[in-house]
Structure 1
């Protein structure tokens, strides 16, 4: 059996949930003062007028009802008369009945997730019918992502090797090999994508969204962003508060935190999610990690990772399942509790000497195809994160010093996630952003959604962002998994639908389960 087919539903669920890559935590960027805009729908300067006034040539694409086009934007907003880039956009027009409310932009997060893929694979067909009836659901692949001037870094075989490097080094030799892999990754990005690499910040992506808003004919931006997409949406509100319409920020980021704090918090989030999985696992007859206590499940999980570190198990192909790929496979299943049965099955098979099912979970996470090629998700993820914030660590020695804090945050994942946070230390482009609070004074009410046991965007981040935003309202989902909208809670969906369709945010401190 091709285990990639077995886990295709899991990969789809992850995409719909707003993928947030571990060890490469999305990070805030700073807004230059000249980027702040007035309340009109006009461009910031005369030099940008040609971009705001452009007419798109829409064509049918993908499934019936979807249209695609190409939109132009400046490579460098400081030099709008210079090099131009082409960004892929898509939409599905409102189906009716009811009053058309304009466009609803969507972004699934990442950074590096394809918004067009999300639109055509989920939002344009899976969002609640009343929302699709009254909105043109639209998407723009952010610069550097998927169809929009995609960042490229490694060949398929090089990426295979990169994903297998030991991320829990036991000595200086192993930590040196890990650092060398990060350096090779960064050098590959610089070699293959030199022009776009310095210009994929979240601030620039938000400015691209404003051009798209104007080209679509909307005076204000309505938007649903998941995971990193919440930071993109919050950045838009900061840059253009008077152009901000109905914004839903689901699985929220905290833009005030530096990269090291973000990574450590996310490490704790994955531990929280794993403990929820462990509590569920011991109640199932097929739990391969024990059936007595969650502590036993954690201990056996950690012990199995150590076993794989010493001796990977075969997978039926040239890539054996070592600790790094196994950890990625387990983390992938933390995004959606519906993947837990598949994870139990995959772990049982791996413990019995067949790592193919757990490898398939890791492959779905990395967006690796059966022919050995990779989407550019991981490349764009690093490029955006390393530009948006200064590196969490600048040397292996700094990681070693921080290990106790990360392992306290997660006994199961802490060591690996601490070392994964070293990736931006060798980035060829200097970070342009800084951690800061986003208030977006003057913006219309913004709904911030937080899930209490979210693995990738801890609930306290949503609490923080809702407090920072001058018009923020917190909507809480007491549950598991990454993000909340469209994941089975009628309470959450009703609150968000009401806001999108009527403009009425949920009452303060509303909680759903």
Structure 2
């Protein structure tokens, strides 16, 4: 799958070595079948009023997203009201936007299957109709359901700045600052971003935690009439799926987590993990083109250094070092995009920055008219709500030697980013790190890809272990890219057999 998204502080690994052999982990107890999707005596979320648990969605034709086309006639949209604050369930509510395509085999219907494509901040309402062809087999027996998590898109989406402010930041902020003046602009911009979130979305941002969204999922499950939650999470969606399994283990139906966030890492650990993961993917890309990874890395760092001093003009914009680095990151998410990176790097070395800038715009979700989506706004709000950690510039600076050693290309950016992401954030984050343990839950498939740049494979092994014996079932994909379903025939068959027939693979199953 190429649609999964992930922010730079949302996943990782901790070892620069190769992907570990899952057989070195004590395997959980084997399970022969997943719980039937509609079975079980699932409890209703405690303390919610009947006005919420008794909702019936009013499905209707879907409106076109901003700047896009409405999905086809098979899709219907609705919303479910959820508490803004679960500590006050009888208080103010916000909408959670849904989109659904009903199962084509109505007699064999197995229930609803909810999707989260990552981010955090990706809109399932917009992505699922575009990606639905990937899930044709599942769509025969499941209603395919996408949703915008709270704080995203049509679900009280967070907005922090306008297009002009974003373009101004693009022109003036260096995300690998070299001087005290650049460091000040970097920190001032992060502070201004948070202040904009508070000004425009101050009511919502304290309540955008992953745990809150997991509670929303359970309410949506009830409203859709499913006794258990069937769920497919990719990238950040794996963190959300694990949070649901921890909070509602008895309500777990069939859950798949693909491109898995490491549940054991803190904010610096996530940055370290991605430093390793993206350099690993870059090395694999360079080898595929016949280049020595060390020599190819030096070539890219020389280009970035030139751009730091002299950005390339591209029309009325400039390809800066920060934008070029973003352009290098984008194609590493999918092996199919590697040729785009080869062409863009060669062009930039000739003095033409259009291709790298186009890749950066793709990653930043900036269209040709200069309009940005608010996905990055939601991403930051959710990430900063999930953690009380607020690393300082001094702490980020202390990471630079280690991170540069791990990756001469990505390390400096990811080290500084630990301080810039939630700097001076206007609300406190959650004090405790996510607990992924889910004792008593049905088996959960945990799919890791050995060459995944954004959520390195090691995180999948840790997630399977964290979910607990008899729950986390590790499936290893020998390959490249962020996410395995749809790109690996073996993984696709394994996941389909689990969702459709309840067939749980052996722990440590390997696909290649």
The TM-score, its normalising length taken from structure 2, stands at 0.90
Aligned residue in 2 for 1:111? 120
Aligned residue in 2 for 1:21? 7
Q: How does 1:172-251 map to 2 (within 5 A)?
A: 172-251=180-259
Cα contact 1:116–1:141 (8 A) shared by 2? yes
Aligned residue in 1 for 2:148? 141
Once residues 113 and 226 of structure 2 are traced to their aligned partners in structure 1, the CA distance between those partners, rounded to angstroms, is: 10
Moved more, 195-204 or 345-354: 345-354
Matched, 1:485 2:485: yes
Give, in angstroms, the shift of residue 392 of structure 1: 5.4
Aligned residue in 1 for 2:83? 74
The TM-score, its normalising length taken from structure 1, stands at 0.90
Cα contact 1:105–1:222 (8 A) shared by 2? yes
Aligned residue in 2 for 1:7? none
Once residues 46 and 397 of structure 1 are traced to their aligned partners in structure 2, the CA distance between those partners, rounded to angstroms, is: 44
Gaps of 5+ in 2: 13-39, 63-70
Give, in angstroms, the shift of residue 383 of structure 1: 0.4
Judged with a 3 Å threshold, the aligned counterparts in structure 2 of structure 1 residues 456 and 26 are, in CA distance, closer, same or farther, namely closer
Q: How does 1:269-280 map to 2 (within 5 A)?
A: 269-280=277-288
Deviations 1:145-172 (A, max 9, x none): 1111110011101112223421111122
Q: What SS is found at the alignment partner of 2:223?
A: helix
Give, in angstroms, the shift of residue 315 of structure 1: 1.2
Picking from 378, 381, 385, the partner of 2:379 is 381
Q: How does 1:117-136 map to 2 (within 5 A)?
A: 117-122=126-131, 124-127=132-135, 129-136=136-143
Deviations 1:411-450 (A, max 9, x none): 2110011112212121111011522441100100000000
Aligned residue in 1 for 2:400? 403
CA RMSD of aligned residues (A): 1.5
Give, in angstroms, the shift of residue 264 of structure 1: 0.8
Gaps of 5+ in 1: 1-12, 28-38, 283-290
Once residues 463 and 303 of structure 1 are traced to their aligned partners in structure 2, the CA distance between those partners, rounded to angstroms, is: 36
Deviations 1:80-120 (A, max 9, x none): 11111112111100012761110000010000111112211
Once residues 280 and 363 of structure 2 are traced to their aligned partners in structure 1, the CA distance between those partners, rounded to angstroms, is: 20
**How many residues end up aligned between the 2 structures?**
473
Matched, 1:64 2:66: no
Deviations 1:197-231 (A, max 9, x none): 11111001111111111111100000100000000
Once residues 508 and 43 of structure 1 are traced to their aligned partners in structure 2, the CA distance between those partners, rounded to angstroms, is: 31
Once residues 179 and 357 of structure 2 are traced to their aligned partners in structure 1, the CA distance between those partners, rounded to angstroms, is: 26
Aligned residue in 2 for 1:55? 56
Cα contact 1:26–1:110 (8 A) shared by 2? no
Cα contact 1:141–1:147 (8 A) shared by 2? yes
Give, in angstroms, the shift of residue 43 of structure 1: 3.1
Once residues 266 and 49 of structure 1 are traced to their aligned partners in structure 2, the CA distance between those partners, rounded to angstroms, is: 44
Cα contact 2:210–2:382 (8 A) shared by 1? yes
Give, in angstroms, the shift of residue 41 of structure 1: 3.8
Q: How does 1:338-353 map to 2 (within 5 A)?
A: 338-353=336-351
Aligned residue in 1 for 2:365? 367
Once residues 48 and 263 of structure 1 are traced to their aligned partners in structure 2, the CA distance between those partners, rounded to angstroms, is: 41
Picking from 415, 418, 423, the partner of 1:418 is 415
Cα contact 2:326–2:360 (8 A) shared by 1? yes
Matched, 1:44 2:45: yes
Q: How does 1:446-465 map to 2 (within 5 A)?
A: 446-465=444-463
Cα contact 2:243–2:434 (8 A) shared by 1? no
Once residues 156 and 309 of structure 2 are traced to their aligned partners in structure 1, the CA distance between those partners, rounded to angstroms, is: 40
Give, in angstroms, the shift of residue 256 of structure 1: 2.2
Cα contact 1:251–1:457 (8 A) shared by 2? yes
Judged with a 3 Å threshold, the aligned counterparts in structure 2 of structure 1 residues 46 and 382 are, in CA distance, closer, same or farther, namely closer
Give, in angstroms, the shift of residue 70 of structure 1: 1.4
Matched, 1:508 2:504: no
Once residues 125 and 493 of structure 1 are traced to their aligned partners in structure 2, the CA distance between those partners, rounded to angstroms, is: 13
